[in-house]
Amino acid sequence: MFKGSYVALVTPFKDNLEIDFEAYGRLIDYQIEQGTNGLVPCGCTGEAATLSHTEQKECIRFVLERTAGRVPVVAGTGSNNTAEALALTQYAAEMKCDGALLITPYYNKPTAAGQVAHYTAIAKGADIPIMLYNVPGRTGVKMEPQTIAALSKLPGVVSVKEACGSVDQVTQILSLCDISVLSGDDSLTLPMMAVGADGVVSVAANVAPAPVAALCAAAAAGDYAAARKEHYNLARLFKAMFLETNPMPVKAALARMGIIKNNLRLPLVPLGEHHYAELDAVLRALSLIG
């Protein structure tokens, strides 16, 4: 259902750390003009953990209104509290988002049975396509392929953003069920698509939407020579987006490009100054800054 390059949107903040909707609009327009296939607001890259629920709803509504149906919107609605995740997902459904991205419950570290119970409650309580989000580096717990296969039988569970850093994980998932897999690691988009993934939920696409979309389109068409060319062209950017904790590097890059201000909410802080020489070199190589 979800295919191609979906961007994990950052949330721009003003100097007073209120949401900067003017900059948000610029970023959304830039994405759509450059060929991004879909938008994913309020995920980890969007600093959802520091947004109030009111702010999260405001962001979802704004992205939908600004997008105006031009591309799909998959709203981040996850939480480690099932009741909160359900309420946010119901809101996304009411607003007619194209889908909801739901992270594996973090901190609580639920067992496989708890993961199934969590997603079952949400799938039954909200009428919206659901993208599971498996990111053990953030949550402290991994969804095993067998668990994802079981969840794929739930009505509404149509996709999984797979960010456990393993192509073998994707292979196992797709050998067990026909759920759509999107890479959650930019550097693994090409190898994951080679074994059957449908695209990526990308951090790097915030900065370079057209090349990331081109990589996905080429791989989907079976043109792996063209896909490899894009992959190698973007390899340094993929690495640079994780010079420090995401979204610190991507916000620094977007600020260098003049799209947003380099503001983050604590406990995140701006990218360390010692990283800027490397970041700027990558951006210049891609002609993203002068």
Q: Residue 142 maps to which CATH number? A: 3.20.20.70
The per-residue pLDDT for range 175-191, each reduced to its tens digit, is: 999 999 999 999 999 99
Residue 240 and residue 282: Cα distance in Å, rounded?
A: 8
In a domain, 266, yes or no: no
Report the chain's terminal Cα–Cα distance, integer Å. 38
What per-residue string of b and e applies to 35-45 under the rule 16 or more CB within 10 Å gives b?
bbbbbbbbbbb
Report whether 8 contacts 2 (CB < 8 A): no
Residue tagged 């991205």 (tokens): 101
> Structure tokens of 263?
């503001």
In a domain, 204, yes or no: yes
Query: Is 229 noted as a catalytic residue in this protein?
Result: no
Amino acid at site 9: L
Residue 117 and residue 112: Cα distance in Å, rounded?
A: 9
pTM equals 0.97
Whether residue 198 has pLDDT greater than 90: yes
In a domain, 203, yes or no: yes
CA count, 13 A, side-chain hemisphere, 56: 26
In a domain, 36, yes or no: yes
Q: How far is CA 52 from CA 2, 42, 64, 190, 282, in A?
A: 27, 11, 18, 35, 34
Mean pLDDT of the 125-150 span = 97
Structural domain range at position 180: 4-219
How many residues make up the chain in this entry?
Answer: 290
In a domain, 283, yes or no: no
Return the closest-CA partner of residue 72 out of 84, 64, 80: 64
**The one catalytic residue among 24, 133, 142, 251:** 133
In a domain, 86, yes or no: yes
Residue 43 and residue 90: Cα distance in Å, rounded?
A: 16
What's the chain's average pLDDT? 98
> Structure tokens of 190?
């090409």
Whether residue 97 has pLDDT greater than 90: yes
In a domain, 251, yes or no: no
Q: How many domains does the chain have?
A: 1
Residue 24 and residue 42: Cα distance in Å, rounded?
A: 12
Q: How far is CA 257 from CA 201, 250, 254, in A?
A: 21, 11, 5
In a domain, 201, yes or no: yes
Query: Is 161 noted as a catalytic residue in this protein?
Result: yes
**Model confidence at 254, in pLDDT bands (50, 70, 90)?**
very high
**The one catalytic residue among 24, 91, 142, 161:** 161
